[in-house]
Every structure is written in C-alpha cells, then in structure tokens.
Amino acid sequence: MVRYNAVEDPLCYPGTHVLRNKADIEDQDLLDEFEQLMFDSRAGETLPDGELDFAHYRALHRHFFQDVYDWAGETRTIRTGKGENWFCYPEYIQNEADRLFAALAARGYLAAAADKDAFAQEAAWFLGEINAIHPFREGNGRIQLVFLTMLTRNAGYRLDDRKLRPKPFLEAMILSFSGNLAPLTAEIRRML
C-alpha cells in the first residue's frame, strides 16, 4: 500500500516506495516491523533532553529512528502528502517550524492552561499545526505523540496512551488539517 503521496523519492529503493534503511530491508512489512522494534527499544532509554523547541523535536526523531534511517532527525527534502492533503513544502519547513515553536513558547508550552479542557484545546492546536508541517519523511505521528506526552507532563498532567483510540484519533487528525480542532480536542481530553 502506498502510504505517502510523494514526488520521485531518492530516499526509496528504485522502483519502490520502500525507504532505504540501515538494515537494507526492501520488504515494507518487514521494514515496518523492524522500525517499530527499534522504536520500542529506544523508548526504554532516557530520552534526549531539550527545551521543547524544534531542535528538541528533531533530537527526539533522531533518537527513535537512529537505528533505521541515516536521515533520522533531519527534515524532509521532498513534497509529501497523505490522502487529499499535501503537507508543508520542504523549503518552508524550517520557517514554519520556527514560527510554530515560537508560538508554543509564547503560550508557555501550554503549561499555563487553566485546566484539562483548556490544555486539550491547546494541545490539539499544536498537533494540528505540527502535523501540517510534517517535518520528517516518516515517523511524524509517533514523534507527535512522544512530544505531546512531554508537553502534557510539563503541564502537570499525564497522557494515558492506553486510552488512545487509533481510528477516531486518525480521523480527528485529518479533520484538524482543515482547521476543525474539536474532534482532536475531544480525543486528547479523554486521554488526560
């Protein structure tokens, strides 16, 4: 299955949509398994420290995908999209990320939210924005959740990922792309 709409991608093995990887796995299902295995094993380690800024965000991606991709932690260089939606063009990623993380800092990293409802609303705003930027070629969804967990902890709450409902969450993420944040706010709120 093609999971990304991407223009010709030098990061893939020729004639395939499989990303070149350190284990040289050319079968997508096997690569998915390997990726998740490496991700889970890195999750057990101390995570990179940082300032909840874009450098920190990229360091997290590098940490979790360092075993799989040479470009772990680096931003995308080709145009990608999913379904009907095209993400930020690569030439604008840095500026858009700078803008978003400056806005996050201006909002006190969401730690000033009055209560869980307010936090969920702000977190949905952030997730919708970072998803539209989609800084990486792969691994965006997982790093979004890692970072949301950090923001939640920093605000004094706890994100219970056992309460994540994959299908409604994905649908809510897709709606957030068009500016409808209510379903995503509700999905985050039920995990707090």
Which stretches of the chain bind ligand ATP, using CB under 6 A? 82-83, 85, 131, 138-142, 144, 170, 173-174, 177
Question: Nearer to ligand ATP by C-beta: 16 or 156?
Answer: 16
Shortest distance in whole angstroms from residue 114 CB to ligand ATP: 26
Question: Nearer to ligand ATP by C-beta: 113 or 128?
Answer: 128
Residue nearest to ligand ATP (CB): 141
The pair of structure tokens assigned to 177 is 């792309």
Distances (CA, A) of 5 to 12, 48, 80, 185: 13, 31, 5, 27
Shortest distance in whole angstroms from residue 112 CB to ligand ATP: 25
Question: Nearer to ligand ATP by C-beta: 85 or 94?
Answer: 85
Beta strands per DSSP E along the chain: 5-6, 80-82, 85-86
CA angle 159, 102, 132 (to 5 degrees): 65
Question: Nearer to ligand ATP by C-beta: 122 or 142?
Answer: 142
Q: Are 100 and 130 in contact (CB under 8 A)?
A: yes
Shortest distance in whole angstroms from residue 70 CB to ligand ATP: 16
H/E element holding 37?
helix 28-43
Shortest distance in whole angstroms from residue 115 CB to ligand ATP: 25
Question: Nearer to ligand ATP by C-beta: 144 or 180?
Answer: 144
- Listed in sequence order, the residues at least 6 apart from 118 whose beta carbon sits closer than 8 Å to its beta carbon are none
Shortest distance in whole angstroms from residue 113 CB to ligand ATP: 21
Residues making up the chain, counted from first to last: 192
Q: What are phi and psi of 12, to 5 degrees?
A: -100, 155
The residues that bridge with 82 in the sheet, in sequence order, are 85
